[in-house]
Amino acid sequence: MTEHASHESHDTPGTAAAPADHRRDYFRIFWVLLVLTIVEVAVSYLKIDKRLMSVTMIALALTKAAFVGLYYMHLKYEKRSLLWLAALPLPLAGFYAVFLMLDGANLLRATTLPWIHH
Amino acid sequence: MSIGTDVALAPGQTVPNPQTFGAATTGKVGMWIFLVTDAMTFGGLLLAYGILRIGNPHWPAPTSVLGIPFTAVMTFVLIVSSLTMVLALDAARHGNRLGAVKWLLLTAGGGIFFLCGQAYEYTHLIRHGFTLPSGNFPATFYVITSFHGGHVFTGVCYLLITAAGVFRGKHLENGANFVEITGLFWHFVDLVWILVFTLVYLIP
């Protein structure tokens, strides 16, 4: 019950009797996810620069993932320590991904990287 | 039952509990640790896809091979199933046993629809020569999407087992913690699909 009571303290301080009502949030997030998905699919049909399109889509996908994590997986309402457990590996993974992909481009396509001298 | 939750509490009462992680039960922390490691596995697969793709200037445009409108519908169903999952948790927390069972079964139904859609998609693609050994794109596509499909199948089984338990009057105690942990897994499956749909299907 401890976890439940902490929900209450976030929502309505001082009234910790009934379970917190997140239904309105749940529906709001559903509409956000739906609209962002429609935008994403619509963007895929546009004739715009590929890089701009890729960056836009990754930004939209990360926004959607963040909404699912924060609201549907309740990270927003958890203790800060649990949020860190889930969030801390992400920038590390992003850093790793960018550099491995640059390395892949360098090895497979011989794209010149400023810090590698052939 | 997890450590430290076997203390009788008045409704809304909180006690300091050093044996659990913050306000979460040990079960929830366990699921989160599993999800973080599982995310790393998905991350590794997506990274392999990214490296192979960036290294190949002749990589086909995914939209020229894959059916985007069809997959968009599958994505929509998965998003709806996430909504029904949180509604199941909400019903369980309010002690609405049959409501929780209804939403859990609808969530599992969304998962089954997704799996049927994936089977249909695979059949269609294989008939058109897009087979696993026919190149790096199909190879990475099938490995990533089938690994995700395996998670959907596991999630459907997990949801049905949870629904059966709730129907028999279990899992409603402790803020419906068991249902919430089931939901964590299901939302993770949805979250990963959001990334797979973007990175594998949509990026030009």
Of B10-19, B81-90, B109-118, the one with minimum mean pLDDT is: B10-19
**Who among A19, A86, A101 is closest to B36 (CB)?**
A86
- Put simply, the answer to whether A3 touches B86 (Cβ < 8 Å) is no
Burial annotation A89-116 (CB, 10 A radius, 16+ → b, else e): bbeebeeebeeebbbbbbeeeeeeeeee
Q: What is the predicted ipTM? A: 0.83
User: Are the beta carbons of B204 and A53 separated by less than 8 Å?
Assistant: yes
Which 8-state DSSP code applies to residue A69? I
pLDDT tens for A26-41 read 999 999 999 999 999 9
At residue A13, the pLDDT reads 39
Average pLDDT, chain A: 78
Other C-beta atoms lying within 10 Å of the C-beta of residue A84: 12
Residue B13 is predicted with a pLDDT of 59
At residue A8, what is the residue type?
Answer: E
Lookup: tokens for A76: 């927003």
Mean pLDDT for all residues in chain B = 88
Evaluate whether A3 touches B25 at the Cβ level (below 8 Å): yes
Per-residue pLDDT of A35-77, as tens digits, reads: 999 999 999 888 888 889 989 999 999 999 999 999 999 888 8
Contact A33 B175 (CB under 8 A): no
Min Cα distance A97 → chain B (Å) is 6
Residue B12: pLDDT band with limits 50, 70, 90: low
Nearest by Cα to B107 from B151, B163, B145:
B163
Contact yes or no for B12 and A5 at CB 8 A: yes
Residue A114: which pLDDT band, with cuts at 50, 70 and 90?
A: low
Lowest-pLDDT range of A6-10, A62-66, B80-84, B102-106: A6-10
Identify the closest residue of chain B to A80 by CA–CA distance. Answer: B22
pTM: 0.83
Q: Given pLDDT bands bounded at 50, 70 and 90, which one contains residue A88?
A: confident
φ, ψ of residue A53 to 5 degrees: the values are -65, -45
At B10, is the pLDDT very low, low, confident or very high (cuts 50, 70, 90)? low
Q: Which residue of B has its CA nearest to A92?
A: B40
Q: Closest partner residue to A101 among B17, B50, B194, by Cβ?
A: B50
Contact criterion met (CB < 8 Å) for B21 and A21: no
Q: Can you give the pLDDT at residue B22?
A: 52
Checking if the pLDDT of B193 tops 90, the result is yes
Report, as an integer, the average pLDDT of B94-120: 96
Please tell me the predicted confidence (pLDDT) of residue A115.
63
Note the pLDDT of residue A92: 82
Q: What pLDDT is recorded for position A86?
A: 81
* B101, pLDDT greater than 90: yes
Mutation for testing the A interface, residue in B54, B75, B87, B196 having most A CBs under 10 Å: B54
Which two three-digit tokens encode residue B88? 């199941």
Whole-angstrom distance, CA of residue B107 vs CA of residue B91: 13
Residues B59-80: pLDDT tens digits? 888 888 898 999 999 999 999 9
